[in-house]
Amino acid sequence: MRKVTYILTGTLLVLSVGGYLLPETPEPAPNRILMKNAAGHVVFDHKTHAEKLGISCMSCHHDALAEGQAGQPCKTCHGLEFGPEFKGHSYTMAPETCASCHHMTLSAKKWGHRTHAQMPGVECTACHHGPQIEPTPQNCASCHDRKVDMGPILSLKNAVHTRCSSCHEESFVKNDMTYCASCHTAQTSRDTLKSGGSLKPALIPCGTCHDTEPAKLVPSSMAAYHGLCITCHEKQGGPVENCAQCHTK
């Protein structure tokens, strides 16, 4: 009896470990998708668009990094309010979604501590605080939080930029990619993710490149669907003249 128990236990162990090691089988692409809508449901023929018409997956799933990836559901981004409640989006959205809005990422700047320390007339207190705050020079991140200002203590980014701009004022005239790239190396976020990198260190805010407020940069779900579907169908010979061409009662 004990021998049988050992055999069963060993078999279950092998099966359980094997389940983790075997490659995950991707879910098959749907033939049709029912989009429920107050104006009338829309039946989207996914198979025809993806296979028969040969439309690239990334034409619709623009956050996917490669063909065959489904990406995030449309309403993960479209239809959200860019108010105070949106501040926690980096914790609720999948990391690969970041590249859809944060098109560019910046490398950390290797600014050259030794070079600055050896410059004539440049004292340690040009960057570090005086002895009343720092008895001995400390790493900036020892006191400055990497993300947020804490009262009079600036975030690490704001503190470093403030110190750098006190000498390199000409590099901070424009708050755009021209000024960022004068110190940082810019790379597309999508390329960063494809190479296995992380977007956490330095995502560029929308306002660095766009004058439009973020709420207007990302269309609502209805505007996104209409813009994508109608634009494509009109290119194929359209026109799309009434709602009943897509919506059913």
CA quadruple 92, 94, 100, 101: dihedral sign: positive
What confidence tier does 76 reach under pLDDT thresholds 50, 70, 90? Answer: confident
In whole angstroms, give the CA distance from residue 178 to residue 104. 13
Q: Please state, rounded to an integer, the average pLDDT across all residues of the chain.
A: 79
Which residue carries 């799933």 as its tokens? 61
pTM of the shown model:
0.55
Which residue carries 């069963």 as its tokens? 8
Does 20 score more than 50 pLDDT?
Answer: no
Does 203 score more than 80 pLDDT?
Answer: no
The full set of domains in the chain, from first to last, is: 29-61+219-249 (3.90.10.10)
- Main-chain dihedrals φ then ψ at residue 186, nearest 5 degrees: -95, 140
In whole angstroms, give the CA distance from residue 139 to residue 202. 19
> Between the ranges 51-60, 204-213, 222-231, where is the mean pLDDT highest?
222-231
